[in-house]
Amino acid sequence: MKRSVPLTPAQRMALDSQRNIAVTASAGSGKTATLVERYIELLRLHPEIGVRQVLAITFTQKAAAEMRERLGRRLAEALDQGLPQEERLRLRQVYEDLPAARISTIHAFCTSVLREYPIEADVDPAFAVLDEVDAAQLRRQALRQTLDELAQTDDGDPDKEALRRTLGEWPRRYLDGVLDNLLRKKRLARHWCHRYAEQNPQQILADWQLAQRQACEPACRALLDDPNFTAMLVELSELEPLSPEPDSASKRLTPIRAAMRDLGKSPSLDKAMAIIPQLSKGLLTAKGEALSARSLGKKSNWDEAVLVRLRELVPTIGHCLAPHAEILGLDLNETDERAAEVLNALARVFLRVDERYARSKGEGGRLELDDLLERCHRLITGDETVRQRLARHYRFVLVDEFQDTDPLQWDIIRPLVAPDGPIAADKLFIVGDPKQSIYSFREADVTVFARVREAIAKANTEQARAELPFLDDDDAEIDSTPSERLGFLVMGENFRTLAQPVAFVNALFSQFMRTVPGEPFQVGYDPLVGRRPANDSQGSVELLLLPPEENPDELETIQREAELVARRLSHLLSGDDLQVADGGDLRPPRPGDIALLLRRRRNLFAYEYALRSHEIPFQVVGGRGFYQRQEIYDLANVLRTLHNPQDAVALMGALRSPYFGLSDNALYALTAPHGGPLWDYLHDASRREKLAPHDRTAADDALCLLDRWEKLRDRVPLVELLHAILEDCGAWGFLSFGERGGQNAANIHKLLDLARDSNVALSDFVARLNLLTSEEDKEGEAALDADNDAVQVLTVHASKGLEYPIVVVPDLDGDFNLRNSDPALIDAENGIGLRVLDPQEGYRPAASFIRRLATRNERRRRLAEEKRLFYVACTRARDHLLLAGSLASEHFAERDIEAAPDCLFWLCRSLNITEADLDRGSKTVEGLESPVRIYTNTESFPTAIGQNQLSTPAFRALLQEPAPAVNPTSGPLDFLTPLQDPHFLPEFTVSELALFAADPEDHYQQYVLGLPPWAPHRVDTPERRALLFGELAHAGLEALSLRPDSDPLVLAEQLLSTRTLPVQKWRAPFARELRELLQRCRQSALAGPWLTSKQARSEQPFTLPLEHGLVHGVIDHIVRRTDGLWQIVDYKTGSTPDKAAAVKRHRLQLEIYGLYLAKLFPDQAIYPAVLYFTDLDDMHSFNFTPTEQVVTRERVDDLVAQLILTKPHP
């Protein structure tokens, strides 16, 4: 079977099926391609098995789908080759069976096993999988019910006494948080709470003393094994001052002088472990750092030579102790006695809550993701018959992204490859990259990879597989090392990234990504080997670094850094200093080529603002954001108000939102002067009369609408209620307007889909919204079209597995978040850490010993993961990498690289960046062919847009053509009248202008009175049907213009699958009509330019500044004809009984579009436009001359002036 791309030696060895293999695959090394090749090779070489006997575990459902797709493509390619008949038949069978292949996530695999063995697993065969929101609601319910039940039991009940003890330590709300935290990690919590419940406080303390010894022992042994350390201590103990007068040196040395001497006499380990913590306190600062030599001793108190030696010894000894300072400072105190008592009581309460929680899930009827793993593990390890059956069934097991496997997942996989203890000879293949393990918050444990690697080596050795050579396709032996024959393969070739970024990544991460004794979660660095062809470009790396400032303002610094990043992106998008590869050629970059990768979303607002200020389109992808968006908040507040009108916060948010539009002045006036129930005051006619006219109208309308929706609330499905709210308020108009119009509307459509899919009552949906809004949800914004050309803004975690031509990693100076504020910390090896009241410190909360130990361990793990997160971010770039941050003096300080406060410190220390480099604007880095460019201020990238200017063309037009100020009218609340903007210009849409010109009365009803074009109480009117179908038709034509070879049937189905229709009976006729329309258009003369033109724009938004106002619109299609002229195409759907009248009615719209086209391309002799009637399959052409457009502009401006007079003024 031929391969289009030759495999590297490591990739060829990865296809070997004679042994177990662990592959370390670096970023861009072709891991997925290798996995696909191995999968096919296994089935090709073992005809006795089928796709159901090969288990492939992936990290995400997306990865499983991608692997299945790539397998299909690869098999199709192979079947097109001239293969022998037998091999061809074999691969054809594999191709046909591919839908049944066992390729899934570990959770999906566990689900299938539990459904296959429901009786043995003690689950309902039709069990449901709970999402996190439903699980959180059940947890809270179980928690509340259990505590209420315990409070009502007899006083003699030991569990009630336990509850009383915990409530004596913490308020009820804090106890709820502790228990909820334990329920989230119930597997480990259950293990430790069963243990604590069976122990008394003295036994718990004894365990902690043992844990303290085990934690300190490695540090003490390391120090004792250093002969220089003990020798320096003995020498220091003998240095005596000349005078008994105390000074900074004698105060520290006198109390520990005897201990230093004792340590030099080779004491037992127990005695040394008692001495060394005393030395740590005496010879280090309070922060655990080495003492400064200059701060030690007075010259008058010491012999000069002795003082010089003392000032040499103390810092040197301090540098030996400093790495262990934190662990040596962990000791038990009276707080821990109290913590042990509380833990015993808390364990009893938790086990009761856990029992109730399990019952609330239906005893196997509803399972969380963690339950799937736990129950599957229990089944496989506890039932010999099931274990042996599964192990026999799955001949080979492949696990992708193994670096993100947790111990429980490995415990599930291990019995499949080692049912009798040792791993089978040739069954297991794992692939991953420890340098890319970044999901510890999902319990991923990078140390599992190393442990399983060692198990594979042991199995290969014991079963003599390490002696076998690797063979190529022609049975020729492949050169290999002993380590590779043990099953350790390294794929370090990078086919993704150009030479300059590869060399930079190697130079940077080799300096601080390294193994650390005693910390198995620290991984070493395997250098990347660049294998991507250059294509006349080596790529580039740039540093955008703001220089240090004295007393910098944090917010201002964030904004300046975001501005620097946006300026650079604007410059590279408008210039030609950076090119990206496109096939075999180079081209200027587009916004869609760029990814902005954030370590955290805390400063997202600054980058959004900066990108908008420079008119750079962007989309926030994945991660948090959806439920925090203003458009979702606003609609959620309306729903909250309908659910509970007395929710004053929700009501106020709804009233001041665009749905009702009351001003802040009005809300103040309703409740002034002493505040009160807003709902009641809104119903008070006397209070509404005091409002300004426009606010009074808005308040009256709000009451009417809320009353109407309240009547609908329990009579129609939730999604229909939402549709009524959106349509009654004309919400699609204000949602679709502005820079984020497309994203706003997409987010609301997503909320509609969530409401339809949830199929719950309003009260349940509101509760769900409240939970999702208050928690750190990870629901991303609705995805826009795949063709949307915009900068992708996403977190580093969300970027895993992706790649982009240009990657920007900003905010490198953001401090690492190494703290854990959870009320209960669980250390898998040491137990549960709490905060309890400390009587010695005025009963303030203090951390228990286990919490301090767990915090220290987790801090070290998180710091190691920050290195890997930084690595993942940098290796997403294909062509160009830009790193940005704000420098401070600490970034140039001499300190341990393991004590880095942020990524920028690693960057500066590893590359030895100096202030001279900043001044020079470049840094020479070993291994890079050209220096790394450094930009330190925004002036490096000139732009026409000032930092404080508004972004859109509409607002720039306002600044250029200010209109006269409008004097406010008098009213009952003159003192609350808002200030008028002297630059205000009214704004109108093209559709509004065209309707006003054609039918002023209809315009008044829709745009002044706000009435929809159909009966408000009906959802199935012909007008509404026509409008919805028109939206679908425009979307279909846009997609067809971009992909003319698309199948109309498939395209129609795809479009309808993404839309929510208010009347379900419309779906079938819509599908038929849309398919026919698209087929008709593809065969029409309109399709000619689609197929031949390489320059076109679909759904082009625009703003046209006029003397009296601004006109906004969206042009369906702009295309460059073969004669070089740009032409407008406007689609019109629906029946057209009088074509001539329709052409006349729509001419004004085309003329306005022509004005914008002239603005874009001022040198054209004519501006052609085509009006295409889709139902008639008929086109009407216009040619607008520049002379005609002067007249048109004056006429449109007069129309705007007339329209302004019809608008009501406050």
599, 556 contact by CB (below 8 A) = no
Identify the CA nearest to 927 among candidates 305, 628, 632, 507. 507
Most confident of 330-344, 754-768, 979-993: 330-344
In this predicted structure, the answer to whether residue 571 has a pLDDT above a threshold of 70 is yes
Predicted confidence band of residue 978 (pLDDT cuts 50, 70, 90)? very low
Identify the band that residue 1020 occupies on the pLDDT scale cut at 50, 70 and 90: low
For the record, the structure tokens of 523 come out as 């991984």
| pLDDT of amino acid 976 | 43
- Work out the percent of the chain whose per-residue pLDDT is above 90: 41
| Reported pTM | 0.72
Asked whether this chain's domains 9-111+391-495 and 529-621+789-940 adopt the same fold, the reply is yes
842: which 2 tokens? 């005025």
For residue 220, give the nearest of 268, 176, 253 by alpha carbon: 268
When pLDDT is cut at 50, 70 and 90, the band that residue 946 belongs to is very low
Tell how strand 1110-1120 and strand 1096-1105 pair up. Answer: antiparallel
581-624 per-position pLDDT tens digit: 887 788 899 999 999 999 888 888 889 889 988 989 998 886 45
Mean pLDDT of 1056-1078: 74
Residue 356 has pLDDT above 70, yes or no: yes
Instruction: Please tell me the predicted confidence (pLDDT) of residue 1061.
Output: 61
Q: What percent of the chain has pLDDT over 70?
A: 90
pLDDT mean over 378-400: 95
Sorted by where each begins, the domain ranges of the chain are 9-111+391-495, 131-205+333-360, 226-328, 529-621+789-940, 626-774, 989-1206
Q: Which two tokens stand for residue 614?
A: 């420079």
User: Does the pLDDT at position 143 exceed 90?
Assistant: yes
**Higher pLDDT residue, 268 or 785?**
268
1020: alpha, beta or left? (left if phi > 0; alpha if psi -120 to 50): alpha
What DSSP line would sit under 1090-1126, residue for residue? Answer: HHH-S-EEEEEEEEEE-SS-EEEEEEEEEEE-TTS-E
Q: Which two tokens stand for residue 1016?
A: 């408000």
Mean pLDDT of 201-225: 91
The predicted model gives 966-987 an average pLDDT of: 48
Q: How buried is 924 (Cβ within 10 angstroms: 0-12 exposed, 13-18 middle, 19+ buried)?
A: exposed
pLDDT digit string (tens) for 681-715?
888 888 888 888 888 888 998 999 998 898 888 78
Which one has a higher pLDDT value, 947 or 1089? 1089
pLDDT of 718 over the 90 cut: no
Q: Six-digit token pair at 853?
A: 């130990």
CATH code of the domain made up of 626-774: 1.10.486.10
Question: Which of left, alpha, beta for 324 (phi over 0: left; psi -120 to 50: alpha)?
Answer: alpha
Predicted confidence band of residue 201 (pLDDT cuts 50, 70, 90): very high
Q: Which residues make Cβ contacts (< 8 Å) with residue 456, sequence separation at least 6? A: 20, 21, 22, 423, 428, 430, 486, 487, 488
Compute the average pLDDT of residues 966-991: 54
Nearby residues of 526 by Cβ (< 8 Å), 6 or more positions away: 24, 26, 435, 490, 492
- Quick check: 925 pLDDT over 80? yes
Confidence category of residue 719, pLDDT binned at 50, 70, 90: confident
Whether 1034 shows a pLDDT value over 50: the answer reads: yes
Asked whether the predicted pLDDT for residue 749 surpasses 70, the reply is: yes
pLDDT band at 679 (very low <50, low <70, confident <90, very high): confident
If one looks up domain 989-1206 in CATH, what number appears? 3.90.320.10
Q: What mean pLDDT do residues 1129-1136 have?
A: 79
Domain 529-621+789-940 maps to which CATH number in 3.20.20.80, 3.40.50.1000, 1.10.260.40, 3.40.50.300?
A: 3.40.50.300
Region 292-318: mean pLDDT is 89
Residue 35, pLDDT > 90, answer yes
Rounded Cα distance, 582 and 588, in Å: 10
Please provide the average confidence, as pLDDT, over all residues in the chain.
Answer: 85
- Give the pLDDT band of residue 1060 (cuts 50, 70, 90): low
Least confident interval from 55-64, 343-352, 734-743:
734-743
pLDDT digits (tens, 9 = 90+) for 79-108: 888 888 888 898 999 999 999 999 999 999
Q: What is the pLDDT of residue 517?
A: 83
Q: Provide the pLDDT for residue 374.
A: 94
Residue type, 817: N
User: Which pLDDT band holds residue 406 (cuts at 50, 70, 90)?
Assistant: very high
- Alpha-helix runs per DSSP H in 418-524: 447-462, 482-485, 499-509
Strand 21-25 to 488-491 pairing: parallel
Second-level CATH architecture of 9-111+391-495: 3-Layer(aba) Sandwich (3.40)
Burial class (CB in 10 A: 0-12, 13-18, 19+), 173: exposed
Residues 6+ apart with CB under 8 A from 781: 619, 620, 621, 625, 626, 629, 743, 746, 747, 750
Sequential DSSP letters for 2-24 = --SSPPPHHHHHTT--SS-EEEE
Whether the predicted pLDDT of 1041 surpasses 80: no
- Give me the pLDDT at residue 969, please: 40
HSE, side-chain direction, 13 A CA sphere, residue 249:
30
Tell me what pLDDT residue 577 has.
81
pLDDT tens per residue, range 815-824: 998 888 889 9
CA–CA distance, 666 with 656 (Å, rounded to integer): 9
Average pLDDT over residues 618-632: 73
**pLDDT at 833 > cutoff 90:** yes
Q: What secondary structure, in 3-state letters, does 204-244 show? A: HHHHHHHHHHHHHHHHHHHHHCCHHHHHHHHHHHCCCCCCC
Give the model's confidence band at 886: pLDDT under 50 very low, under 70 low, under 90 confident, else very high.
very high
Q: Which of 600-614, 1021-1035, 1072-1086 ranks highest by mean pLDDT?
A: 600-614
Closest C-alpha to 667, from 680, 647, 682: 682
Residue 1012: band (very low, low, confident or very high) from pLDDT cuts 50, 70, 90: low
Lowest mean pLDDT among 65-79, 550-564, 773-787, 905-919: 773-787
Confidence (pLDDT) at 735: 80
